[in-house]
Amino acid sequence: MKIAIEAQRVFRKNKHGMDFVALEVIRHLQVSDKNNQYYIFVAPGEDRCLENSDNVQIIEIKCPTYILWEQFALPHAIKKIKPDILHCTSNTAPLFCKTPLVLTLHDIIYLEKKQRGNRTLYQMLGWYYRRFLVPRILPKCKKIITVSNFECNRITEVLHLDRKQIVAIYNGCSDHFKPIENYREITSKYIKHDNYLMFLGNTDPKKNTVRTLKAYKLYLERSTARLPMFIVDLDEIFIDKIIEENKLESIKPFLIIPGYIVNSDLPAIYTGAKVFLYTSLRESFGIPILESMACGTPVITSKTSSMEEIAGEGAILSNPMDEQDIVEKLLQLEFDHKLYEQQVAYGFKRVKRFSWNITAQLTLNVYLSIYNSK
């Protein structure tokens, strides 16, 4: 087969979830599948994290905007290659392209009731673009890949699609996420403390940043350890606005807000954390849950959407709408040392269920099923 894979943003320096999923799947297919030819379509960027090989050709397409790249430049480039399959990896795809299409639809949050909150202009434009495009793309798809059974059921329910058109393929956890012995060599660049709580969010309301910071205020009032909170991927100006609007000034001296952390530093950041808070309102998967577990750090996550499915029955699950419940879970881990060690052991065991090798193989199976059905 000639397989085209859209990975537009994979070369950008500050990668996020969907970028890493595409990157890991491509890397593992490059190693494991020598029978088929892959053409990876990317936009130029600083981080050239993929290289050509006998079975993989990287094709860079220059275009000024995301939408023009996807709707005009990509279909034009596809025509030259004439692949058997086009796999678009990040929720959207060209409206007009005759190549059999596989779409990874990570979530349909943008088709659900819009939550109020602090969205950037970029996020809003993306929200409206996906909201317009996705319902028009899905009927064209030979197969839709999503990342959890929760999301698979949600897509089927909301969009009334044939369940046979959709397959759930779990994400994996990258091998470099593991306990780092000399983690202070990395964490000291960002924080002077040996122990801290870790929270990863962004400006999207679903990340539940406001309630998590309110819960942290209650934690400081009740904890004997009073650990600082290391906040990843959020700008200090954004945090300051939340603090001012919610009268949380007392927590500011305890916050460490370095902004975006490069992926290579994250294993050390996880390792140094006492607890990782992943208290989102809505996730389609939740790779950070696995990353923290792989690094030996207990996770407090939410008993909503896919997070319970990924974290498993033995995980510590909180009600993300209830600040008091989040605090209670934090204090349980602080005062119950046996529970803490149990959660460390549980995380190491749980994360073994998720492998990028398996993700890549199941993705290849999707390609083969389409090709063989011609």
Residue 188's contacts (CB-CB under 8 Å, 6 or more residues apart) are none
Q: Give yes or no on whether 2-172+355-372 and 184-351 have one common fold.
A: yes
Q: Where are the domains of the chain?
A: 2-172+355-372, 184-351
- Cα(67)–Cα(63) distance, integer angstroms: 9
Report helix, strand or coil for 244.
Answer: helix
Q: For the domain with range 2-172+355-372, which CATH number is right: 3.40.50.1000, 3.40.50.2000, 3.40.50.720, 3.40.630.30?
A: 3.40.50.2000
User: Quick one: pLDDT at residue 119?
Assistant: 62
User: Quick one: pLDDT at residue 117?
Assistant: 55
User: Quick one: pLDDT at residue 110?
Assistant: 82
Residue 68's contacts (CB-CB under 8 Å, 6 or more residues apart) are none
All residue ranges of the chain with pLDDT < 50 are: none
Q: Which two tokens stand for residue 227?
A: 């650990």
Q: pTM of the entire structure?
A: 0.93
- CA geometry: angle at 198 spanning 192 and 200, to 5°? 125
Tell me the backbone φ, ψ of residue 248, rounded to 5 degrees.
Answer: -110, 30
Residues making up the chain, counted from first to last: 374
Record: fold of 184-351: Rossmann fold (3.40.50)
Residue with tokens 């904890």: 223
User: Quick one: pLDDT at residue 122?
Assistant: 66
Instruction: Look at phi and psi of residue 233 and say left if phi exceeds 0, alpha if psi is from -120 to 50, else beta.
Output: left
Residue 368's contacts (CB-CB under 8 Å, 6 or more residues apart) are 1
User: Quick one: pLDDT at residue 325?
Assistant: 98
User: Quick one: pLDDT at residue 126?
Assistant: 81
Picking from 56, 69, 52, the residue whose alpha carbon sits closest to that of residue 8 is 69
Picking from 93, 90, 105, the residue whose alpha carbon sits closest to that of residue 152 is 105
DSSP state of 96: S
